[in-house]
Amino acid sequence: MPAYLALARKWRPQRFADYVGQEHVVRALAHALDSGRLHHAFLFSGTRGVGKTTIARLFAKCLNCERGVSSQPCGECAACREIEEGRFVDLIEVDAASRTKVDDTRELLDNVQYAPTAGRFKVYLIDEVHMLSGHSFNALLKTLEEPPPHVKFLLATTDPQKLPVTVLSRCLQFNLRRLDPELIRTRMAQILEAEALAFDDAGLRQLARAADGSLRDALSLLDQAIVHGGGAVQGDAVGAMLGQTQRAALFDIVEALAAGQTGALFEQLEGILQSGYDAALFLEDLARILHALALRQVLADAPADDLAEAQRLTDLARRLNPADLQLYYQIALLARRDLHLAPDGRVGLEMALLRMLAFQPQVSRDEIAAPAPRPRQDVPARTASPSPSGKPFEAVTPVSAAVPAVRENPAPFPDPRVAASPAPATTAAAPGPADWGQVLQQLDILGLWKAVLEHAEAREFSAEAVTIALSPGHANMADNPKFRAALEQALKSHLGQQPKLKLIRMESAQGDTPARRQAQARQARQAAAEQAMQEDPLVREMLQTFEASIVKVEPKD
């Protein structure tokens, strides 16, 4: 019975056309080979399993193919076959992690001066080159400075930051990227079809995510999944092998969180724990689901694993408050970081979910039913306060510089709870949008939602009707029931009656909003402060005497 060859070895690319996911590197090397512009040293960097040594061997094959140097080696000549089988005498592969001493490097480089035995070039492939010692790098550097014409150096490393700058400067550097999970999934599907093995997309997607950008790791996991599934790769078997559960259970967890259904939440958690789901993986996958939901709230066409999942993401994204979602994500990250401090994995998971339930940034039902009236924010008179010595501090009157007004005489919105006094005929009957910032400061509403309203315009504001134009970045808040309920309650408390609230989308992000007016006011204060500094006689004299310059001016509010 012939020995079984692992998929990662069996399907190792033997041509540039078979190489997956590193088109930028393949294109550059192919141009160099076909044009004859061949540098003497190449450095391939990237995380594990992305193909550094594979592409180096391919390059060595291109250099020594008996049909000539090109980006398309024949794969049939003696040199090509021997390089594929790892027995080509002029391809010297070195693992720098096990040969770090300077004596090893000198022994290796002693034969550099001799011509190749069988090939066109003598190729030195040094893997994990960053593991060499300082003296070893010095010995290598001398050869890199003046290499013989028949020698090529191919260096591979997972940590290029540890290489001396003198070595980096003498190499052509190529950074190999982590592979996209969808690219890994497609490649595994091609291999399984060629191997005539059954599979489903759910299983391949789990393996692609678990590979973390490494195709070699993905193929090793695929080998394991084939054995675990009895010759087939199925989602349930892969989930059990990886200690994961189906993503549907994660969505059920998030839905229970959104609805505040404690019983359903912990019933789902119990089922997940009984399936053997690792606690750390659970928190990582939960964070990924929360990230996908947050992305879906701002990008309606954000990618998803399949159509069913895309629909579920869209439905959940519409129902969840963005502030709640951000809080869940942060709690999941912190729980993952601190999981080793918990008595066990179950306790860590349960406490994380309890924190998500306990610290939701939303208005409680009691607050909505009976809101406490919030007094107007008038500036209180400054009073003397005791100092540490027991003597009161003297009241200080702040001095403010004259700053150009951003708008002239803004009149506040009328308060319908106060009887209106007769106004002159020239007074406007209705307030303008410039007054929205003053009203917003008086509304009793959460800070997160107040920040949304600071970037909005009040198109209409009266005791009967209020129309708010939300910025394009916050337009999805119009469909958030919690936000609408809190805003309606705050307006009722402020106006004394419930107005008809209408939320619309602002045509442009450059609207006349309180946030924009505040930014204009800050710019005006900054300009006034800089002008005052430039015109100050004492400052001008100091600048002239000491040949100084003004670095920064910060106005005081």
Q: What does the domain layout of the chain look like in residue ranges?
A: 7-175, 181-242, 247-358, 433-512
- The per-residue pLDDT for 418 is 41
- Please determine, for residue 42, whether its predicted confidence score (pLDDT) is greater than 90: yes
- Asked which of 79-93, 143-157, 378-392, 516-530 is least confident by mean pLDDT, the reply is 378-392
Query: Among the ranges 47-51, 91-95, 147-151, 334-338, which has the highest mean pLDDT value?
Result: 334-338
Q: What is the mean pLDDT of residues 257-278?
A: 83
Burial class of residue 4 (count of CB atoms within 10 Å of its CB; 0-12, 13-18, 19+): exposed
Distance CA 150, CA 167 (A): 20
Instruction: Tell me how far CA of residue 325 lies from CA of 258, 313, 447, 451, in angstroms.
Output: 9, 13, 16, 17
Q: What is the mean pLDDT of residues 2-23?
A: 84
User: In this structure, what are the phi and psi dihedrals at residue 555, rounded to the nearest 5 degrees?
Assistant: -70, 150
- Please determine, for residue 552, whether its predicted confidence score (pLDDT) is greater than 80: no
- The per-residue pLDDT for 123 is 92
Dihedral angle of Cα 158, 160, 162, 164, to the nearest 10 degrees: 150
Of all residues in the chain, what percent carry a pLDDT higher than 70? 83
- The per-residue pLDDT for 308 is 62
- The per-residue pLDDT for 366 is 41
Q: What is the mean pLDDT of residues 464-486?
A: 85
Architecture of domain 433-512: 2-Layer Sandwich (3.30)
- Please determine, for residue 337, whether its predicted confidence score (pLDDT) is greater than 90: yes
Residue 360 binned pLDDT confidence (cut-offs 50, 70, 90): low
- The per-residue pLDDT for 419 is 40
Residue 398 binned pLDDT confidence (cut-offs 50, 70, 90): very low
Distance CA 552, CA 550 (A): 6
Stronger pLDDT, 440 or 101, i.e. the higher one:
440
CATH of domain 247-358: 1.20.272.10
Local structure of 395: helix, strand or coil: coil
- Please determine, for residue 368, whether its predicted confidence score (pLDDT) is greater than 50: no
Tens of pLDDT, residue by residue over 411-469, are 334 443 344 344 443 333 344 444 788 888 888 887 777 888 888 888 888 888 999 98
Structure tokens given for 390: 């027991």
- Please determine, for residue 56, whether its predicted confidence score (pLDDT) is greater than 50: yes
Residue 189 binned pLDDT confidence (cut-offs 50, 70, 90): very high
- Looking at every residue in the chain, the average pLDDT score rounds to 79
- The per-residue pLDDT for 381 is 40
- Please determine, for residue 222, whether its predicted confidence score (pLDDT) is greater than 60: yes
- Please determine, for residue 109, whether its predicted confidence score (pLDDT) is greater than 70: yes
Q: What is the mean pLDDT of residues 157-186?
A: 90
Instruction: Name which of 241, 248, 250, 240 is nearest 275 in CA terms.
Output: 240
- Asked which of 21-35, 208-222, 254-268, 295-309 is least confident by mean pLDDT, the reply is 295-309
- The per-residue pLDDT for 401 is 37
Residues 6+ apart with CB under 8 A from 333: 287
Q: What is the mean pLDDT of residues 311-338?
A: 89
Residue 241 binned pLDDT confidence (cut-offs 50, 70, 90): confident
Return the CATH fold of 7-175: Rossmann fold (3.40.50)
Distance CA 27, CA 21 (A): 12
Q: What is the mean pLDDT of residues 264-268?
A: 87
CATH of domain 181-242: 1.10.8.60
- Please determine, for residue 361, whether its predicted confidence score (pLDDT) is greater than 60: no
Local structure of 491: helix, strand or coil: helix
Instruction: Name which of 359, 361, 336 is nearest 349 in CA terms.
Output: 336
- Asked which of 138-142, 166-170, 292-296 is least confident by mean pLDDT, the reply is 138-142
Give me the half-sphere count of Cα atoms (radius 13 Å) on the Cβ side of residue 257.
31
- Please determine, for residue 341, whether its predicted confidence score (pLDDT) is greater than 90: yes
- Asked which of 89-98, 143-152, 336-345, 548-557 is least confident by mean pLDDT, the reply is 548-557
- Secondary structure string (H, E, C) spanning 462-506: CCCEEEEEECHHHHHHHHCHHHHHHHHHHHHHHHCCCCEEEEEEC
- The per-residue pLDDT for 97 is 78
Q: What is the mean pLDDT of residues 171-177?
A: 91
- The per-residue pLDDT for 378 is 41
Of all residues in the chain, what percent carry a pLDDT higher than 90? 22
- The per-residue pLDDT for 506 is 85
Report whether 51 contacts 25 (CB < 8 A): no
Instruction: Name which of 123, 122, 124, 133 is nearest 98 in CA terms.
Output: 133
Q: What is the mean pLDDT of residues 246-252?
A: 78
